[in-house]
Structure 1
Amino acid sequence: MSDIIIDIGGEIFEAAFETEAAPATVTRFRELMPYRDRIIHVRWSGEACWIPMGERDLSIGYENATSYPAPGQIIVHPGHVHGVSETEILVAYGPCCFASKAGQLAGNHFLTIRKDLDRLAKVGRSVLWDGAKAIEFRAK
């Protein structure tokens, strides 16, 4: 079952919230929707793309946190918690160890794309080689 649509540069993916595992993160993200931004390729984390959110305070702590999101898993780093890295959303499309210039990080796994992971990887590689793309999270 999917809850939302994620549009990355015109490529459409369906995703499901991890409501039981990350209830506070899911609730906060729902408040932000529809959410539109730009997505760029990570620098240190492997095969993933990220949405830098700067100093934005999401007023959430850690829950269902991981440093190793699997392909299709979407995590959010509540940057203000430790001040090590900014607030950000990361979309894993391949092997990934979430990190910053300060070292390994963890983020709340709150959303999952379960289908079309091969297409997600193609989009991720396109962000790497072709540059930033528009991204939108919206209700299904």
Structure 2
Amino acid sequence: MSQLIVHAGDFTFHARFEEQLAPKTCAAFRRAMPFDSQFIHVRWSGEGVWMPLGDLDFGVGFENHTSYPAPGQIILYPGGISETEILLAYGGVHFASKVGQLAGNHFITLTSGLENLAALGKTVLWHGAQKVRFEEM
């Protein structure tokens, strides 16, 4: 099982790839690591933070996809009717965009620091974009 560190704003989380459930997505994301971006607060989906990635193509389709990621689950929407994006749920999420409901590949799960998820979400909501970096341990 591959271990990751996710630095988001002032918070650090340990995580794991969901390699058995989303092997293609994990492999594609691993090739892009270390991965640096910014979290902004979701507009349509509820309690989540996301990285809009425009037309970035990870070269994957749908696998282990969900519209309802649980807190601490990270999903990748590979593009299609909306732009490519990565979303981290910190509370209740119904993944959607201005075109309606979407489904993203659950490919990373946070394994530590979950008690800081709500604080991260509220920081992004009230103080704006926060840098995020994904690194393999």
TM tier, smaller: over 0.9
Cα distance between partner residues in 1 of 2:113 and 2:36: 21
**2:87 alignment counterpart:** 90
TM-score, length of structure 1 as denominator length: 0.95
Equivalent residue for 2:98? 101
Cα RMSD over matched residues?
Answer: 1.1
Provide the TM-score with structure 2 as the length reference.
0.97
Partner of 1:123: 120
Question: Distance in 1 between the 2:83 and 2:5 partners?
Answer: 25
1:116 Cα offset (Å):
2.3
- Tell me how far apart the structure 2 counterparts of residues 8 and 34 of structure 1 sit (CA, whole Å): 13
The question of whether the paired residues in 2 share the 8 Å contact of 1:37 and 1:135 is answered with yes
Residue 2 of structure 1: how far off its partner (Å): 6.1
Size of the alignment, in residue pairs?
137
CA displacement at 1:37 relative to structure 2: 0.7
The alignment status of 1:68 with 2:68, answered yes or no, reads yes
Identity percentage of aligned residues: 55
| CA deviation after TM superposition for structure 1 residue 115, in Å | 2.5
Alpha-carbon separation, structure 2, partners of 1:2 and 1:22: 13
Give the drift of 1:44: 0.4
Q: Deviations over 1:77-113 (max 9, x none)?
A: 001xxx3110000000000000000110000000001
1:77 alignment partner in structure 2: 77
Structure 1, unpaired ranges of 5+: none
For 1:139 and 1:18, how far apart are their aligned partners in 2?
14
Distance in structure 2 (CA, Å) of the matches to 1:117 and 1:5: 13
Alpha-carbon separation, structure 2, partners of 1:133 and 1:96: 19
Q: Matched residue of 2:62: which SS?
A: coil
Q: Which consecutive residues of structure 2, in runs of 5 or more, have no partner in the other structure? A: none
SS at the partner of 1:43?
coil
Note the alpha carbon deviations across 1:58-89, whole angstroms, 9 max, x for none. Answer: 1100000000000000000001xxx3110000
Take 2:16 and 2:61, find their aligned partners in 1: how far apart are those partners? 21
